[in-house]
Structure 1
Amino acid sequence: MRYEKVVKGEFIKRPNRFIAHVLIDGREEVVHIKNTSRCRELLIPGVKVYLEDKREVPGRKTGYSVISVYKDDVLVNIDSQAPNTVIAEALENNKIDGFLNFSLLKREVTYGKSRFDIFMEREKEKIFIEVKGVTLENSGVSAFPDAPTERGVKHVKELEGAVAEGYRGVIFFLIKMQKPDLFKLNWKMDPAFAEAVCKAQSKGVEVLAYDSLVTPEEIFIGKKLPINLQPW
C-alpha cells in the first residue's frame, strides 16, 4: 500500500480521538487522526509523525491525516484503514502461504450480523478473514487490543459460527511495524476478547500474525510471527 503526498511533522497534542495538532513547516495545523484507538504510547508531544496531504480533497475539514509515527527508531503505521488493504494486496499477489490461487476476493462481506473484512473462494473452499491492526508493542512483544472492543468480540463469535457451518475462518493480526518478534493477546486490557479468540481457535478458527515493512510512503506485509494466546 502506498500513500501519495506525504509530509513530515511534529506531534503537539490530541484533543480528542479524531483530531490532533501537529507542527508542519513551522505552522501549527489541526489534522485528522486515522485511528480512533488510544495510541497513548505513540502520540507523545514532540514525536516525529508523517501525514498524508489531503488539502486538494473537496469537502474535508482538515488538510492532513496522520498515517505513521516514530516510536524510538521504529516507524509505526497508525492508519486504521491500512491493514485491510495491506492484507488484500498480499493475498492478490500470493504473498501469504496457505491462501494461494483463489478465484474470488471481496472486501467488506456480510455474514450473519457481522461484516467481515475479506471473503475468498478457491475451488470448494470459502474463507472469511477478519483483520486486526496492531500498534501496541513492548520489548519486542506486540499485543492486541489497546482498548476494550465489544465489536471485536462480536466478530470473533460470528467467525466461530461461520466455521461451524463449514466456512474457513481466520483472524489476521497485522502488526504495523517491523520491531516485534512475538504476538500475544492483551488479556489485561480485554479478557473478554482474549477468551473469545482462544475459544474460537479451539473451534477451528485460525489465528495468524504478521509484521509489516513500514516507510513514510508505504506499508507492506512482512514476516509471519509466532503467537502466544495464553494469559501473560
Structure 2
Amino acid sequence: MRFQTPLVPARLIRRYKRFLADAVLEATGEEITAHCANPGSMMGLKEEGTRIWLEPNDDPKKKLKYGWRLSELPGGHWAGIDTAVPNRVVKEALHARAIPQLSAYGSVRPEVKYGEGSRVDFLLSEAGLPDAYVEVKNVHLRREGDWAEFPDSVTKRGAKHLAELSRMLEAGHRAVMLYLVQRTDCTRFRLSGDIDPGYAAAFDMARAAGVEMICHGTVIDRDGVSIGPEMPVDEVPQSRRG
C-alpha cells in the first residue's frame, strides 16, 4: 500500500480529541492541525517533539489538509498511525496470496455482513474449502523488549468480534483473527491483558474454540506500508499469567 502523495516531516505538539494533532512543519515552521486517524490511546506514540510524517492533500471537501501517517522511532524504526491502513495492506496481501495460511483462497470480499449486526473485514472463498472469515486488528503498542501488544485501550468491539468468529466456527467455517503490527521494532506478539482483561478472556476463549490467531509484521517507509514476516503469537493464556 503506497501513500497517495509524498509525506512531509513535522514535529508533534500534541494529539487531542482523539482525531486531531497539532504539529510544526519542518520545512516552513508553520503550525498546522492534522487528522489523526486513530481512535486508540496511542500509548508511547504521542510524545511532544516526536518527528512525524504527514500526508498532504488538496481535497476541497476535507477541512484538514494533512493526515498523520507515520512516527519515527529510535534506532531508525517506524510506526504506522493510521488504523485504516492495516485493512488495505491485508487486502493487497490476500489478493497476492502473500499470507501463507490463507493463500489457497482466490475470492476476497471485504466488509461482508455476518453475525449480529457486524461486518467481517474479509470473507474468503474457494471451491472445495470452507469459507474463511477474517478479522484484522491494528497493533502498534510496545512497552517491553520486542513485544508488540494489543489492545492499547479497552475494546468491547474487539471482544465482540472474537465471539462472532467463534460462532462462524460452530457453523462449519474457518475463523481467523489477524493482528497486523504497524511498527518495525517488534518481532513477537502478545495480549495486553492488564489494559483490557475482558478482551484477553475473550481471546483465550476464542482460541480454545479453534479461532486461528495469526500475526504479521509490516515493512514501513515513507513511501508506504506492506505485509511483513509472520510473528509468533504468545501461547500463554491470560488466566495463567503471574
Q: TM-score range by the shorter chain?
A: over 0.9
Residue number in structure 2 paired with 1:40? 43
- Assess if the C-alpha contact under 8 Å between 1:178 and 1:222 holds in 2: no
- Assess if the C-alpha contact under 8 Å between 1:42 and 1:70 holds in 2: no
Alpha-carbon distance in 1 for matches of 2:193, 2:43 = 18
Residue number in structure 1 paired with 2:62? 60
Once the two structures are superposed, residues 175-225 of structure 1 have per-residue CA deviations (whole angstroms, 9 ceiling, x without a partner) of: 012221210011101111111111111111100111111102211111111
Report which stretch shifted further, 64-73 or 141-150. Answer: 64-73
Residue number in structure 1 paired with 2:160? 154
Within 5 A, what are the aligned runs for 1:66-105?
Answer: 66-73=68-75, 74-105=77-108
Alpha-carbon distance in 1 for matches of 2:231, 2:93 = 16
Residue number in structure 1 paired with 2:124? 120
1:228 to 1:101, Cα distance in 2 relative to 1, 3 A? closer
Alpha-carbon distance in 2 for matches of 1:75, 1:98 = 26
Alpha-carbon distance in 2 for matches of 1:4, 1:228 = 35
Residue number in structure 2 paired with 1:133? 138
1:103 Cα deviation after fit: 3.1
Residue number in structure 1 paired with 2:18? 17
Alpha-carbon distance in 2 for matches of 1:79, 1:15 = 15
Q: CA RMSD in A?
A: 1.2
What is the SS of the residue equivalent to 1:152?
helix
Residue number in structure 1 paired with 2:210? 204
What is the SS of the residue equivalent to 1:76?
strand
TM-score, normalised to structure 2, is 0.92
- Assess if the C-alpha contact under 8 Å between 2:180 and 2:217 holds in 1: yes
- Which of structure 1's runs of 4+ aligned residues deviate more than 3 A? none
State the AA in 2 paired with 1:133. Answer: N
- Assess if the C-alpha contact under 8 Å between 2:15 and 2:22 holds in 1: yes
State the AA in 1 paired with 2:141. Answer: L
Residue number in structure 1 paired with 2:225? 219
Alpha-carbon distance in 2 for matches of 1:115, 1:182 = 28
Can you give the 5+ residue segments of structure 2 that lack an aligned partner in the other structure? none
- Assess if the C-alpha contact under 8 Å between 1:103 and 1:123 holds in 2: no
Percent identity between the two aligned chains = 29
Alpha-carbon distance in 1 for matches of 2:12, 2:210 = 43
1:98 Cα deviation after fit: 2.1
- Assess if the C-alpha contact under 8 Å between 1:170 and 1:205 holds in 2: yes
Alpha-carbon distance in 1 for matches of 2:172, 2:86 = 26
Residue among 143, 168, 174 paired with 2:180: 174
Residue number in structure 1 paired with 2:149? 143
1:57 Cα deviation after fit: 1.1
Once the two structures are superposed, residues 90-123 of structure 1 have per-residue CA deviations (whole angstroms, 9 ceiling, x without a partner) of: 1111111121242311111110221111111011
What is the SS of the residue equivalent to 1:14?
strand
1:4 Cα deviation after fit: 2.2
What is the SS of the residue equivalent to 2:204?
helix
TM-score, normalised to structure 1, is 0.96
What is the SS of the residue equivalent to 2:142?
strand
Residue number in structure 1 paired with 2:33? 30
State the AA in 2 paired with 1:78. Answer: I
Comparing both structures, which one devotes a greater share of its residues to strand?
1
